[in-house]
Amino acid sequence: MAYAADSFDTLPRMPTWVTSARPEAPEDVAFLSGAALNHLHLVLRRADVPQTLLRARLALRAAEACVTHQGRPELAAELRDAVAFLQPGDSPGPAGEIYLSWRRAVERPVSVKGLHRALPNLDPSQIAAWLDTGQGTPVARAAAVCHAMIEERPRDHTSSLLLANVALAQALGWSHVVPLLAIGLKRGEVRNAGDDLHLACHRAIVTAATEATREGADLARCAARLKEVAPKLRARGSDEAVALFLDRDAVAPAALTSLRSDRAARRFCDRLVELGAVRELTGRDTFRLYGL
């Protein structure tokens, strides 16, 4: 299937009146966050946007923000490394655990069982009880969950922000978690309460929804390029390998098990780079990672 170079001009862009406005009144901020969420909802329904990959990329961004909240120095590259080469029994470290939590949270449709997999230190009954905390509009529910959790677990920003995003997704009727609040909220704002927290959540959603929309457009272009060059790939198992790039933020050649050997997998990845379909993400000569 051919993809026109300009086919993504139809991907809805966040209106400039949403991104450029600097409102102060709470009702104006709430209106803009509602507009941003509505716009993002359209992007999340687009077939040309690789939705699994978009959530994975946003999960990495959310993890990076949560790690920063803890005062840790790890950025996206270090988080990728922390989990990409894990062997059974290995520990990814504290920052890697945060990244794993977000990755697991966005991989599957929202359920208490799935959230317990992402946050194994929380009892499933606790998770269900916290998610029942919020009432009212989607942002009000998310803010209530965030506040309830941070009151009980003041050092656990990751769980608070993750479950707040779950509450937001549930209220909006989304089947999967889309990390927004973790990306947009600053460290000090997580500890706010009442109207201050609501206002901070609305502002965070405008920021994060704009970023998610931009990321979705970029990934749609990259996915189309990968699909365009896929017929040129003659290696046995290439279809399965290409599918992996459309689901994961970063792929190690060793993960391409559908190909004949590690050497074949490395050559396959290098070929995709030559064709302009994927990028090498690490800048290293060994232990490389590739992604859209």
C-alpha triplet 99, 102, 105: angle, nearest 5°: 150
Question: DSSP 3-state assignment of 107?
Answer: helix
Burial class (CB in 10 A: 0-12, 13-18, 19+), 235: middle
Q: What is the pLDDT of residue 10?
A: 60
**261: which DSSP letter?**
-
Q: How far apart are CA 273 and CA 291, in angstroms?
A: 10
pTM over 0.75: yes
Give the count of beta carbons closer than 10 Å to the beta carbon of residue 240: 12
Burial of 10 (0-12, 13-18, 19+ CB in 10 A): exposed
pLDDT of 3:
38
58, 215 Cβ separation under 8 angstroms: yes
Q: Name the residue ranges covered by the structural domains of the chain.
A: 13-221, 233-291
pLDDT at residue 68, rounded to an integer: 92
Q: What are the structure tokens assigned to 140, written together?
A: 């009000």
Write down the number of H helices and E strands in the chain. 13, 2
At residue 97, the pLDDT reads 95
Three-state SS string over 152-221 comes to HCCCCHHHHHHHHHHHHHHHHCCCCCCCCHHHHCCCHHHHCCHHHHHHHHHHHHHHHHHHHHHHHHHHHH
C-alpha 6: how far from its chain's center? 26
- In 3D space, the residue among 244, 233, 223 whose CA is nearest the CA of residue 292 turns out to be 223
pLDDT given at position 4: 39
pLDDT per residue rounded down to tens, the chain (292 residues)? 333 334 445 677 788 888 777 777 888 889 999 999 999 999 999 999 999 999 999 999 999 999 999 889 899 999 999 998 888 888 889 999 999 999 999 999 999 999 999 999 999 999 999 999 878 899 999 999 999 999 999 889 999 999 999 999 999 999 999 999 999 999 889 888 888 999 999 999 999 999 999 999 999 999 999 999 998 887 788 899 999 999 999 999 999 999 888 999 999 999 999 999 999 999 999 899 999 9
DSSP letter at 13? P
> What phi and psi values does residue 110 have, to the nearest 5 degrees?
-60, 125
DSSP H/E element including 291:
strand 290-291
Specify the pLDDT at position 8.
Answer: 47
Q: Which CATH class is domain 233-291?
A: mainly alpha
At residue 9, the pLDDT reads 53
CA distances, 185 to each of 43, 88, 111 (Å): 22, 34, 24
